[in-house]
Structure 1
Amino acid sequence: MTVFAMSPDGVRIALHELGDPDGAPVLLIHGFSSNAQRNWIDTGWSGALAEAGLRGIAMDLRGHGDSGRPTTGYEVPRFLDDVDAVLEQLMLDEPPGAIGYSMGARLLWRHAGTRTLAFRALVLGGLPAGDPFQRFDLDLALRAMAGEAEAGPTESFVVDLAGVFPEHDPATLVHLAAEVSDSLFDPEQAPPTAPTLLMTGDRDTRAPDSASLVPLLADGRFAPIPGRNHMNAPTSGAFRREATAFLAARLRGDAAAA
Structure 2
Amino acid sequence: MTEESKTAAAIVYRDTVIARDGVELAVHRMEGAPGGADRTVVLLHGLFSSAQMNWIKYGHAGRLAEAGFSVIMPDLRAHGESGAPHDPANYPPAVLVDDLDDVIGHYSLTDYDLGGFSLGSRTVLGGVVNGLNPRRLMLVGMGLEGLLSFNRRADWFIDAIDNFDDVKRGDEAYFAVSFMKTMKVDRVAARLLLSSRINLTEADLKIPEMPVLVLCGTEDRDNGSPTALVEALPDGHYATMPGTHMSSVVEKALGLEMIKFLK
Which TM class, normalised by the smaller chain length?
0.7 to 0.9
Deviations 1:110-143 (A, max 9, x none): 11123152x1101110012224541717885454
Q: Which of 98, 107, 129 is equivalent to 1:81?
A: 98
Equivalent in the alignment of 1:49 = 64
Partner SS state of residue 182, structure 2: coil
Equivalent in the alignment of 1:104 = 120
Q: CA deviation at 1:197?
A: 0.6
Deviations 1:9-42 (A, max 9, x none): 1111111112516631100100000001111110
Q: CA deviation at 1:63?
A: 0.3
Equivalent in the alignment of 2:30 = 18
1:1-258 alignment, distance < 5 Å: 1-20=13-32, 23-71=38-86, 72=88, 73-92=90-109, 94-117=110-133, 119-131=134-146, 132-134=150-152, 136=155, 140-141=159-160, 143-147=162-166, 159-166=177-184, 168-180=185-197, 183-193=198-208, 194-225=210-241, 227-247=242-262, 249=263
Query: What one-letter code is carried by the residue in structure 1 that aligns with 2:101?
Result: D
Q: Which runs of 4+ in 1 moved over 4 A?
A: 137-143, 155-161
Query: What one-letter code is carried by the residue in structure 2 that aligns with 1:174?
Result: R
CA contact (8 A) 1:191 1:217 kept: yes
Partner SS state of residue 164, structure 1: helix
TM-score w.r.t. the length of structure 1 is 0.82
| Larger deviation, residues 78-87 vs 126-135 | 126-135
**Aligned equivalents of 1:140 and 1:217: distance in 2?**
32
Query: What one-letter code is carried by the residue in structure 2 that aligns with 1:112?
Result: V
Taking a change above 3 Å as real, the CA distance of residues 191 and 111 of structure 1, as seen in their structure-2 partners, is farther
Q: Which runs of 5+ in 1 are unaligned?
A: 250-258
Partner SS state of residue 230, structure 1: coil
Equivalent in the alignment of 1:252 = none
TM-score w.r.t. the length of structure 2 is 0.80
Q: Structure 1 vs Structure 2: percent identity of aligned residues?
A: 28
The alignment's C-alpha RMSD in Å is 2.6
Deviations 1:36-71 (A, max 9, x none): 111111010232112321010001100011111111
**Aligned equivalents of 1:159 and 1:61: distance in 2?**
19
CA contact (8 A) 2:33 2:66 kept: no
**Aligned equivalents of 1:141 and 1:241: distance in 2?**
33
CA contact (8 A) 2:158 2:194 kept: no
